[in-house]
Structure 1
Amino acid sequence: MQAMLPLFSLLQEDFPLSNQQYRLLSASLAAFSKSGYPSTSVSMIVANARTSKSTFYKHYKNKESILIHLFDLLSTALIRKVEDVLRSVPPTSKRTFQAIKTYIDTCFTHRDAAKLLMVDTVGLVPSLEKKRQAVIDQFASIFQRELSSLTCHRLTKEQWILSHAMVGAINQIVIRSLLEEELPSPVELAGVLEKMMSKLLREKSEFDS
């Protein structure tokens, strides 16, 4: 369980889970990451957690339900971390950079979980696909809100398009990075992405004027 300590530190800030649930969640992440979601059984999870099947079924219906719970917990914690940054930094491009960096850095810190939920299980669990899209939409709405504050304009269709494009770009960069042996620098990635967004905003401002 020692390898799962970063996951514990992320979740403990937000969720009052029992020790049994922490053990099951960490064990499921380890099993899914090692054997793949399709090949992982409840028996493998409880063996990793050193608990019983009755304990597992006390909390979860099946392996899909624990995967969904893991996704819900981690996505909620990630959104909270990004929102915390946005609340602590004045509304400038620096705040956008810090928010992007926090998103990327958190995904890289919890690499196994991010790879499982953003790469390895794509297309395998329909209910997870709906939740994944909902989280993408939520991050896009956060970006749209930030764009509105940076440009001092009301929400527009262009901001909606740009916010979804930026979230898509960030996610694609994270996904590609997770597939590499050595992770790139979150600072470097966030810097490039923030400059890209700032350039688009400048061009739009010049066009409008």
Structure 2
Amino acid sequence: MVSASETSTTDRHRERMLEGLAASIRERGLARTQVTDIVRHARASRTTFYKCFADKESCFVELVRATTTVGLLAVADAVDPAAPWRRQVSDGVRAYFDALTAEPAIAVAVTRDLASLGARGITVQQEGIERYAELLCELTRGRELRRAGVEPLSMHAAVLLIAGVNAMVVRAIDRGEPVGGLLPTAERAVLGMLAPA
């Protein structure tokens, strides 16, 4: 049986490796990052890395999941369920874009490099879309939205919105366009989907 202190130590090592990978992505991009770069930034050994992750790709998958969690928490924290519904949309969309633009190198790696992992990358990408869609569905069930006549979103509609916004962001990144400039378009799309009939 693994003790709590061993689990805590392993968790700390994993966190350091994720931070090391993020630092290396900022410095070199994911494609040029090697395990030696990760451990250099993490100030750890390769042995410690391989106790935490099978390879760089596994570490990247975990970083994507952790980044998604941070973004989800930021969106959930930004939305005041007592605020008027349009304000909730504006605050939620802005928090999503703030999370993206806070770590542009990570956003580029997620949009460009995740697909290179094949089925595993697609699964992680779909997980992220599903998690954001679930949050969006939950937020649309709020009292203020119901009072305004906004129908709760179905999971299909939420996936459509999230995947559409993600595709728009990927396109902008690929073209070297500023992601922040997409905020009004994303906000209009969400408002349009939610507008009371």
TM normalised by structure 2 equals: 0.75
Q: Which amino acid aligns with 1:173?
A: M
- Following superposition, the deviation at residue 25 of structure 1 comes to 2.0
In the alignment, structure 1 segments of 5+ residues that lack a partner are: 1-15
- Following superposition, the deviation at residue 155 of structure 1 comes to 4.8
Q: Distance in 2 between matches of 1:35 and 1:138?
A: 26
Query: How many percent identity over aligned positions?
Result: 21
Match of 1:57 in 2: 50
Q: Which amino acid aligns with 1:198?
A: L
- Following superposition, the deviation at residue 143 of structure 1 comes to 2.1
1:119 to 112, 117, 126: 112
Please list, as runs of the form range in 1=range in 2, the aligned pairs for 1:52-131 lying within 5 A after superposition.
52-87=45-80, 90-131=83-124
Q: Distance in 2 between matches of 1:114 and 1:89?
A: 31
Residue 181 (structure 2) pairs with residue 183 (structure 1): no
- Following superposition, the deviation at residue 125 of structure 1 comes to 4.4
Q: Distance in 2 between matches of 1:165 and 1:173?
A: 12
| Residues 35 and 56 of structure 1, relative CA distance in 2, 3 Å threshold | same
Q: Which amino acid aligns with 1:127?
A: R
Match of 1:140 in 2: 133
Q: Distance in 1 between matches of 2:179 and 2:25?
A: 24
Q: Distance in 1 between matches of 2:190 and 2:29?
A: 39
Residue 2 (structure 2) pairs with residue 28 (structure 1): no
Output one character per residue of 1:133-154: Cα deviation in whole Å (capped at 9) or x when no partner: 1220121122233344435576
Residue 147 (structure 2) pairs with residue 163 (structure 1): no
- Following superposition, the deviation at residue 70 of structure 1 comes to 0.9
Residue 167 (structure 2) pairs with residue 172 (structure 1): yes
Q: Distance in 1 between matches of 2:151 and 2:190?
A: 18
Name the Cα RMSD after superposition: 3.0
Please list, as runs of the form range in 1=range in 2, the aligned pairs for 1:36-55 lying within 5 A after superposition.
36-37=30-31, 40-55=33-48
Q: Distance in 2 between matches of 1:174 and 1:90?
A: 27
Q: Which amino acid aligns with 1:103?
A: Y
What secondary structure is seen at the aligned counterpart in 1 of 2:117?
coil
In the alignment, structure 2 segments of 5+ residues that lack a partner are: 1-9
What secondary structure is seen at the aligned counterpart in 1 of 2:19?
helix
TM normalised by structure 1 equals: 0.71
Is the 8 Å Cα contact of residues 104 and 174 (structure 1) preserved in structure 2?
A: no
Q: Which amino acid aligns with 2:184?
A: G
Is the 8 Å Cα contact of residues 170 and 193 (structure 1) preserved in structure 2?
A: yes
- Following superposition, the deviation at residue 77 of structure 1 comes to 1.1
What secondary structure is seen at the aligned counterpart in 1 of 2:21?
helix
Is the 8 Å Cα contact of residues 107 and 174 (structure 1) preserved in structure 2?
A: no
Q: Distance in 2 between matches of 1:195 and 1:154?
A: 17
